[in-house]
Chains A and B, each alone.
Chain A
Amino acid sequence: MEARAVTDDLGRWADPSMLVLASLADGPKHGYAITADVAAHVGVRLGPGTLYGAIGRLEERGLIEALPPEQRRRPYRITASGAQELAHAATRMRAAADLGLTRLAAARATA
């Protein structure tokens, strides 16, 4: 059986946390930049409460770390553990997406 991921116990916070990790994967960002990035690339608008709920949990688990603030806006950076978690979660999501899409295509072909 696959080892349990750190993010498996995030419950309803798993999706926002994954979005934050994905946003930080290409470099540090502060909260507003994360929100804008996720909205632009995924079409999901993270509310401020949801964003900081995810940031708090990710920081607690050592998946992101805070950088010195720039004019009150504090950037966050993904850690090595965070990058590993993101890769693990994204691989699982891709497997699930591939499974679903493949089977839907097969069902359509036989219909």
Chain B
Amino acid sequence: MTRRDPDAAGHRPDPLLVRVILGLYPRRWRDRYGQEFAALLTDLAAGSPWHARAAQIASAASGALDARLNPPGGRTMTDRIRRSITAVACAVVVFTIAGAGFQKMTEYPDFHEAARAHAAIGASFDILRAAAILAGITVLAGALPLAWSVARQAVVGRRADLIRLLLVPPAAVIGWLAIAKIVASLYSHPQARFTANTATLAAIALLGIAAAAACVWAVAAILRRADLAPRLLRPQVVPMAVLTMCMAVVTGADISWGLAVRAADSPLFYSNNGLVSTSVPPNWAGGVVALAAATVVTAAATVRAARELRTPAQPTLGEAAR
């Protein structure tokens, strides 16, 4: 049987684009509406001009996002807490990347000297580092019980899908660090042209975003597929709250550090001692924005999760309609 031959029910396989679009929708949605939706997409595409087809594809993709955000039948409280944890996981990835960038930038001896010479810079740096360490401990304290449960399910249940997903984050991070190190050592130089170093930094940043996206996707997939007991999920609100406070302190300390460096050692602040020998201010500002965004996302997710625990269980829309 070729790919174009009809199946047992006499239906020809859907065009590749239709199958790709259907793949964007959650599995529960596809089980319920997949066949008829595929038939609709095929009917609409027949004889349509290219711009109409583009609009149909955009509409279908938008519908997939809506189906993921608002699944049919609504969500249970555990699902909603799971979503909050996923949001925090995304924020932690962004936070870690921004923190790693800051740590890398401030490795230069000039920054160490500035921290020793000026109390405001030194204090900001120490507070930032202490809060970052506490944030890391909090993430581990929250994630370890979940990770242990997932790892046990993966091994005992011989869940190859969970094992593959668990390997994605370390592989992505190690791969990115290795490539970043090679690219940075090959192309950056303090006397190099500004554009060359900026391009190198941009390339490393893009690779980092790809690695971060892979980590986030893997964590979200694990949280969706693993069977995590409510007694494991509900207590996550506590480390989430502590993490929010740590992130806020780190963000504030980073802002304070940058302003202190600018005030006490202006030549250093405006130098090309940033990542890959680029300018410091955009490195610093970009890091602050990333830290602040991660903090806001974590805070919002924590508030949502805490509300879920306080609200009595509500029937889903499907139950309410019956």
Task: Kindly list chain A residues whose C-beta atoms are within 8 Å of the C-beta of B61.
Answer: 49
In the complex the two chains form, is A52's CB within 8 Å of B63's CB? yes
**Is B60 part of the binding interface, using a Cβ–Cβ cutoff of 8 Å?**
yes
A32-B317 in contact (CB<8A): no
Q: Tell me whether B137 is interfacial, beta carbon within 8 Å.
A: no
Question: Among the listed B37, B56, B66, B321, which residue makes an inter-chain contact with A31, where contact means beta carbons less than 8 Å apart?
Answer: B37
Instruction: Report the nearest B residue to A59, measured CB to CB.
Output: B72
Known: A56-B67, A61-B317, A72-B11. A32 touches B43 (CB 8 A): yes
Q: Are B72 and A53 touching (Cβ within 8 A)?
A: no
Q: Which of B10-61 contact A (CB under 8 A)?
A: 11, 29, 33, 35-41, 43-44, 55-56, 58-61
CB distance from B314 to the nearest CB of A (A): 13
Within 8 A of B (CB), among A1-60: 30-32, 35, 45, 47-53, 55-56, 59-60
Please pick, from A47, A59, A62, the residue contacting B60 in the complex, using a CB distance under 8 A: A47
Residues of the B chain whose Cβ atoms lie less than 8 Å from the Cβ of A60: 72-73, 317-318, 321
Taking the nearest CB of chain B, how far is it from the CB of A108, in angstroms?
37
Q: Is the CB of B36 within 8 A of A69?
A: yes
Q: CA of A107 to CA of B44 in the docked complex: distance in angstroms?
A: 44
The answer to whether A56 and B55 touch across the interface, beta carbons within 8 angstroms, is: no
Is B59's CB under 8 angstroms from A32's CB?
Answer: no
Instruction: Across the interface, name the chain B residue whose C-beta is closest to A54.
Output: B63
Contact of B40 among A45, A48, A56 (CB under 8 A): A48
B310 within 8 Å of A by Cβ?
no
Cβ-defined contact, A49 with B322, below 8 A: no
Residues 60-72 of chain B: 1 if any A CB is under 8 Å from the residue's CB, otherwise 0? 1111101100001
Contact B56 A47 (CB under 8 A): yes
Contact with A along B115-153 (1 / 0, CB 8 A): 000000000000000000000000000000000000000
> Given A47-B59, A53-B67, A60-B321, does the pair A35, B39 have CB atoms closer than 8 Å?
no
A73 at the interface (CB under 8 A from B): yes
Which chain B residues (225-260) contact chain A, with CB distance < 8 Å?
none
Q: Which residues of B contact A74 (CB under 8 A)?
A: 35-36
Q: A62-B321, A62-B322 are in contact. Are A52 and B44 (CB under 8 A)?
A: no
**With A56-B33, A73-B36 given, is the CB distance from A49 to B63 under 8 Å?**
yes
Interface string of A79-101 (1 = CB under 8 A from B): 00000000000000000000000
Whether the Cβ atoms of A48 and B321 lie closer than 8 Å is no
| Pairwise interchain contact B317-A53, C-beta atoms closer than 8 A | no
Selected from B58, B72, B322, the residue in CB contact (under 8 A) with A56 is B72
| Given A49-B66, A50-B63, A61-B317, A35 and B44 contact (CB-CB distance below 8 Å) | yes
Nearest residue, chain B, Cβ from A32? B43
B62 closest partner in A (C-beta): A49
Contact B321 A52 (CB under 8 A): no
What residues of chain A lie closer than 8 Å to B40, measured between beta carbons? Answer: 30-32, 35, 48, 51-52, 73
B309 to chain A minimum Cβ distance, whole angstroms, is 24
Q: How far, in whole Å, are A47 and B44 apart by their CA atoms in the complex?
A: 9
* A69 engages B35 (CB within 8 Å): yes
0/1 interface trace, chain B 292-304, chain A, CB 8 Å (1 if under) = 0000000000000
Contact across chains for B11 and A48 when beta carbons are under 8 A apart: no
Note all chain A residues with C-beta closer than 8 A to B56: 47-48
CB neighbours of A35 from chain B (8 A): 40, 44
Residues of A within 8 A of B55 (CB): 45, 47
Partner among A30, A32, A53, A61 whose Cβ is within 8 Å of the Cβ of B66: A53
B63–A48 CB distance below 8 A: yes
In the assembled complex, how far is the CB of residue A103 from the closest CB belonging to chain B, in whole angstroms? Answer: 36
* Sample of 10 more A-B contacts, CB < 8 Å, known A47-B60, A59-B72, A73-B39: A31-B36, A31-B37, A31-B39, A48-B41, A49-B64, A52-B63, A55-B33, A62-B322, A71-B39, A74-B35
3 smallest beta-carbon distances between A and B, as pairs: A49-B63, A47-B59, A49-B59
A-B contacts, 5 listed (Cβ < 8 Å): A47-B56, A47-B58, A48-B56, A52-B33, A60-B321
